[in-house]
Homo-oligomer: A and B are copies of this chain.
Amino acid sequence: MSILVVGSVAFDTIKSKYGERHKILGGAATYFALAASYFTKVRVIAVVGDDFGAEQESVLTSHGVDIRGIERAKGKTFHWGGEYGDNLNEAQTKFTDLNVFANFQPNIPAAYNDSEYLFLANIQPTLQKQVRDAMPKVKLVGGDTMNYWINNTRPELLETLKGIDILLINDTEAKMLTSDSSVPRAANKILEMGPRALVIKHGEYGATIFFKDGSYGFGVKAFRAPALPIEEVFDPTGAGDSFGGGFMGYLASQKEVTREVLKHAMFYGGVMGSFAVERFGPERLQNLTRQEIDERFNMFRSLTHLD
């Protein structure tokens, strides 16, 4: 089944201890789309400027990603610059040139109307809600957000959350959204805000999914997938979005979203996140095989599997 992602397609300038890259392809929707493309058909809604060329397009189209929803606007493409120090979980932002992204107004091409899965990547919550409301027939809606929206557009975000089935955020965002320092308690509070399930990403420690149906407390209402202990993290940019792409892409590839399918999706999310950080930008996500993905899935499994 096809999945539609709305979010940023951007240029990134990144520095880590392993080197630097200038103006490489980035953006949440890019990482998400590439990761999801190994599982299902992906469609993208985004905006780029006139510095976005055939080379960048082909990164997506060569993976079968439908980019008819990527609008060309006059001006430059969103450009983010960041640097990673020893703490790979947090980038130091050097600059954020929103450029054409500042006036992004998502337009849904008619050809996208039959999308069955929708992912609202990290953009202004009111825009997320507009897209969600324009797609009443989708089977499942995933979403992301970030500290900026939590702090500055909280009422709008709370409205948006009501239309999201599965929210994917990290520990810091979960704590910030609920003003609660306990992750499991924060999870319970977020599940009262709308989502039926909540994925909290723990960076190098994996991710946990919390289900709404009953207190997960000491039962089986939560599930934790590990992250692979990776010795050389070249560039953590996009790891969370790649997790989202693997997670949602796998869901969309299955007939039904059962509890067991969600657990497997957690592992596939971790797998795609682990590939993303092995090279700069989305380099590694561009040349994977499904066999490599499944081999790594088995490594993840053996990392936690008790006979």
Contact = CB atoms under 8 A, between A and B. Distances in A.
The quantity of this chain's copies bound in the complex is 2
Interface residues of A, number: 45
Interface in A214-241: 216-220, 222-226, 228-233
Nearest to A267: B306
Given A263-B306, A301-B306, A306-B263, A184 B229 contact: yes
Nearest to A210: B229
A146 interface: no
A206 B204 CA distance: 12
A72 interface: no
Interface in A252-307: 260, 263-264, 267, 296, 299, 301-307
Nearest to A188: B231
Contact of A229 (B187, B299, B302, B304): B187
A15 to B, nearest CB: 16
Contacts of A231: 182, 184-185, 188, 217
A55 interface: no
Contacts of A222: 229, 303
A182 B87 CA distance: 9
Contacts of A184: 229-231
A185 B184 CA distance: 30
Contact of A205 (B202, B210, B299): B202
A217 B224 CA distance: 21
A264 B225 CA distance: 17
Contacts of A122: none
A23 to B, nearest CB: 27
A25 to B, nearest CB: 26
A213 interface: no
26 contacts: A86-B181, A88-B181, A182-B232, A184-B231, A185-B232, A188-B231, A202-B205, A205-B205, A205-B206, A206-B224, A208-B229, A210-B229, A217-B231, A218-B299, A222-B303, A223-B303, A223-B304, A224-B226, A224-B229, A225-B304, A226-B226, A226-B304, A260-B307, A264-B306, A304-B304, A305-B306
